[in-house]
Amino acid sequence: MVKAGILLMVLAGFGTQLFAQGGQTYAEKLGYPSGVKVVIFHVDDAGMSYESNTGTIRSIEEGVATSCSIMFPCPWAASFAQYALKEPMDAGVHLTLTSEWGHYRWHPVAGRDVVPTLIDSEGALWRSVEEVVKNASPDEIELEIRAQVERALALGLTPTHLDSHMGTLFYHAPFLERYIKVGAEYRIPVMFPGGNNKLLGLSMNDNLIKRLKREGKYQEGMDLPKNDLMVQAPEIGKKIWGLGLPVLDDLHSVSGNWKPEGNPTAEEWGKYKTERFKEVLLQMEPGLAMIIVHSNGDNDVFDRISGSGGSRYADMLAMIDPDLMKFIEAEGIMLTTWQEVMERRKRAQ
């Protein structure tokens, strides 16, 4: 997922000229009605675990989620890909360059001898984005993301899009360049927010405020540092659109931080997230937005992997909450998929 602030350093390498779209959103350029909010509810981390798979499937088949992406270095990726072929769904490649959990590790698809700068002393992918940026060569990054795409194709799956686990490919300009290059060569959309980015800005501010509060530096009403992303991202969006690929108007990715106070039950946590997603949809400007969640079906084993299981289960409960679907319908919000978005891009001028 894209985290607050991670694009700042990268985008500086792409210029600061604002992309003037002539007043059109990317949704309108894709042929969606003017003034309409178009949303991809997207489940990250399919294939990471059995629980990730069941949560993703329930979110899509029983809920409002319309798309997902698979972590192909992970043990349960092939199982999910097989399911996605049997029960067709909008599934992309969650390009994975980190292996961040304490005792649950995975390795590069290209092979450790092929991409030695991508692995740590245990032979697994680096644990943190910072270590990837410090150690990995752009050439080997490209080899690995191509290998992950090729694994999807070898399993019979045609990816509907590419995105980046932990936002790794957005931390370093040469990585982002390879990400866009590979997507263009394979004619696979690359997730990138190049429009109004209202939700992305709110997400970044939300994360920044949380960090400042942890550090004891935040005061109510204080002016937050200006984020150059709002100026720079449109220029990259223009470049991606010019390559024949679709572009998002906005992106939201911070539901993992949402938790009510106290010690909520799973159901209370899920309801809390449902209400927060409604708020996000109300804040959203007209255009095409992707809203990222991480859904688990249960946490019987997952709690041995990560402490994020409760939040992931709550994401799944929110996705299948009938109240969220009723809200979406009442607000006239259109749900779409990456597959539909790419088909529209092919027809767009």
The ranges of the chain with pLDDT < 70 are 1-22, 205-215, 217-231
Across the chain, which distance is largest between two alpha carbons, in Å?
Answer: 54
Q: What is the DSSP letter of 32?
A: P
Q: Are 179 and 169 spatial neighbours (Cβ–Cβ below 8 Å)?
A: yes
Which DSSP string corresponds to 176-193?
HHHHHHHHHHHT--B--B
Q: Are 26 and 345 spatial neighbours (Cβ–Cβ below 8 Å)?
A: no
Q: What is the dihedral of CA 169, 175, 180, 181, to 10 degrees?
A: -150
Strands (E) across the chain are located at 37-46, 67-70, 91-95, 162-164, 250-252, 287-293, 334-335
| The residue to which tokens 């978005």 are assigned | 341
Q: Are 75 and 106 spatial neighbours (Cβ–Cβ below 8 Å)?
A: yes
| The residue to which tokens 């996605």 are assigned | 84
Q: Identify which of 298, 251, 248, 329 has the alpha carbon closest to the alpha carbon of residue 57.
A: 298
- What's residue 251's pLDDT? 96
Identify the bridge partners of residue 10 per DSSP, sorted by sequence position: none
- What's residue 136's pLDDT? 98
Q: What is the DSSP letter of 250?
A: E
Q: Dihedral sign for Cα 65, 67, 73, 78, please.
A: positive
- What's residue 206's pLDDT? 66
- What's residue 18's pLDDT? 36
Residues in CB range of 174: below 8 A, 6 or more apart: 138, 141
Global pTM reads 0.90
- Residue 191 phi/psi, 5-degree rounding, is -65, 120
Give the tens place of pLDDT for each residue, 319-328.
Answer: 999 999 999 9
